[in-house]
Amino acid sequence: MDERIRALAHELMESGVEHLSERERRLIVKIAQRHHIARNVAHDLHEKRTPGERWADHLAAWGGSWSFVAGFALFLALWSVWNAFLAPVAQRFDPYPFIFLNLILSMLAALQAPIIMMSQNRQAKIDRMQAGQDYDVNLKAELEIMALHDKIDRLAHLIGPHGGKS
């Protein structure tokens, strides 16, 4: 990183940073200390998941897949056909209107919904952190562009108004 950018960062830290947010101040410190700003937030958080979060993510991925939808539709069709038509009357454990099936579906929904919401909340947290990361990278890029403009202006001033030609 250019010395001028680090000098600008040090100057900002020593003088007019009152108007900057805490996040912007931390970014200026990172720039002054030559820290890398860009990183993969999703990967960092993915590695730090608890076993419950891993399980919720797997269940949400499986419950939202076409294989689950197709398998569950097949299960419902078999349950309905067996209990309505195929099984002998004495073996129909859940005759129409399938009250036991409704109970199972309600319990499944009561368990599956909060687990999927946990996974979605975690994804929303990743998205918020990624947005913050994007902001930091954009701010650093803006500072570096300002430094490049400063260099070009100094070079133009050194060369003169006619591009160094007499």
Average pLDDT over residues 105-127: 91
pLDDT of residue 71: 96
Return the number of other C-beta atoms located less than 10 Å from residue 60's C-beta.
Answer: 19
Domain residues for 123?
50-141
Convert the pLDDT of each residue in 30-61 to its tens digit: 666 666 667 777 777 778 888 988 888 888 88
Q: Judge contact between 98 and 73, C-beta under 8 A.
A: no
Residue 165 covered by a domain: no
Residue 28 covered by a domain: no
pLDDT of residue 84: 93
Number of domains present in the structure of the chain:
1
Q: Distance between alpha carbon 126 and the CA centroid of its chain, in Å?
A: 3
The CA distance from 77 to 83, in Å, is 10
Residue 35 covered by a domain: no
Residue with tokens 């939202």: 64
pLDDT of residue 82: 94
Residue 93 covered by a domain: yes
- How does DSSP assign 48-88, residue by residue? T--HHHHHHHHHHHHHTSHHHHHHHHHHHHHHHHIIIIIS-
The CA distance from 40 to 154, in Å, is 36
